[in-house]
Amino acid sequence: MAATNSDMSTSGYSFEDIQAMAQEVLKYSSLRPKIGIICGTGLGGIGDVLEDPVPVPYEVIPDFPVSTVKGHSGKFVFGMIQGKPVLLMMGRLHYYEGYPMWKVAMPVRVMKAIGIETLIITNAAGGLNPKYKPGDMMIINDHIDFPGLTGECVLIGKNDERFGPRFLAMSDAYDKDLGNKFKECMVQLGHGSLLHEGIYIMVGGPTFSTTAEYKVLRMFGADAIGMSTIPEVVVGRHSNMKVFGLSLITDAADLECASKNKLTHEDVLKIANDSALLLQKVFVNFISMVN
């Protein structure tokens, strides 16, 4: 049975709980994917490229949390891309939904138990780097775990070594080879000019940032800002998965306080939706290159 936040365990779910959830998901398909993709806000369109999709709604998995945010549908989907079996996670959990950090990233542990070795994580993010425009993409080459730095790291609590080590190096969090392959694929498709590489910072949300906050976070060296991803990256690395992270830039941070428009979740969804076809094309090529 799932423990409460006050147990402060790394996972809140025991190793056995996670294995049982994975076994439940595996009942729905004979595919045994090694590639997993987490779809960010509004990026579920990636799922449209799946051949023979088999959805597994979170509700059918005992003790699995529900996803409450518009743009996150709440299911795993098995399917094939370019002859390779993949598992999509459509319906990320966020800290601002009220879930403790260990629960936010728990689906990654289930993906590991299903057999996923390469984890591709996508998100919608605000551009802090003034060169970034809505519709651009950023390969995440490093991150700033702002909640982690202030005591809310996803690995805080008891550690079960069957999940991973107590102390985890994060200097090699993002797989360089996967980053290079993604770059190659964007250049091949003629979209190299949309692509950047940079640092993602996670904030707790759900408020978007003030101009003063954007300025401070930019001074820290962050290029893109969002409210997700880092707990999944940390748990992915704790589980010894190869990790690739991609941000779709959905809005440009107003560092000069010049815009009269207030940023909304609908703005984020619109840009994500406008980029859906391009992302589908890119992912088909990218997955064909991933081992």
Ligand X SMILES: O=P(O)(O)O[C@H]1O[C@H](CO)[C@@H](O)[C@H]1O
129 versus 228: smaller Cβ distance to ligand X: 228
Fill in the per-residue mask, 113 to 142: x = in contact with ligand HPA (CB under 6 A), - = not in contact.
Answer: -----------xxx----------------
- What is the three-class DSSP state of 223? coil
Q: Dihedrals φ, ψ of 31, to 5°?
A: -70, 145
Does 265 bind ligand X (CB under 6 A)? Our answer is: yes
Interacting stretch for ligand HPA, rule CB under 6 A, among 154-162, 181-189, 219-227, 283-291?
Answer: 219-227
Does 94 bind ligand X (CB under 6 A)? Our answer is: yes
Does 92 bind ligand X (CB under 6 A)? Our answer is: yes
Amino acid at 69: V
Does 41 bind ligand X (CB under 6 A)? Our answer is: yes
The CB-of-72 to ligand X minimum distance in angstroms stands at 7
In 3D, which of 39, 223, 229 has the Cα closest to residue 148? 229
- Residue that is written with structure tokens 């759900």 in the block: 206
Distance CA 123, CA 186 (A): 17
In 3D, which of 104, 242, 226 has the Cα closest to residue 173? 242
Does 226 bind ligand HPA (CB under 6 A)? Our answer is: yes
123 versus 239: smaller Cβ distance to ligand X: 123
Kindly tell me which residue out of 121, 154, 268, 290 binds ligand HPA, with binding defined by CB under 6 A. Answer: 268
Helix (H) or strand (E) holding 215: helix 211-219
Question: Residue 96 contacts by C-beta under 8 Å, 6 or more apart in sequence?
Answer: 204, 205, 206, 227
3 versus 263: smaller Cβ distance to ligand HPA: 263
94 versus 112: smaller Cβ distance to ligand HPA: 94
Kindly tell me which residue out of 123, 129, 209, 239 binds ligand X, with binding defined by CB under 6 A. Answer: 123
Kindly tell me which residue out of 111, 124, 154, 185 binds ligand X, with binding defined by CB under 6 A. Answer: 124
- What is the three-class DSSP state of 178? helix
187 versus 257: smaller Cβ distance to ligand HPA: 257
Number of residues counted as binding ligand HPA (CB under 6 A): 12
- What is the three-class DSSP state of 119? strand
> Rounded to 5, what percent of the chain is helix, strand, coil?
35, 25, 40
Residue 129 contacts which entry, ligand X, ligand HPA, none (Cβ below 5-8 A, type-dependent): none
> What is the distance in angstroms between the CA of the first residue and the CA of the last residue of the chain?
36
79 versus 134: smaller Cβ distance to ligand HPA: 134
Distance CA 167, CA 148 (A): 14
The CB-of-249 to ligand HPA minimum distance in angstroms stands at 8
With b meaning 16 or more CB within 10 Å and e meaning fewer, what string describes 214-227?
Answer: beebbeeebbbbbb
Residue 239 contacts which entry, ligand X, ligand HPA, none (Cβ below 5-8 A, type-dependent): none
Amino acid at 243: V
Binding site for ligand HPA (CB under 6 A): 124-126, 208-209, 225-227, 250-251, 253, 268
Binding site for ligand X (CB under 6 A): 40-41, 69, 92, 94, 123-124, 205, 226-229, 265, 268
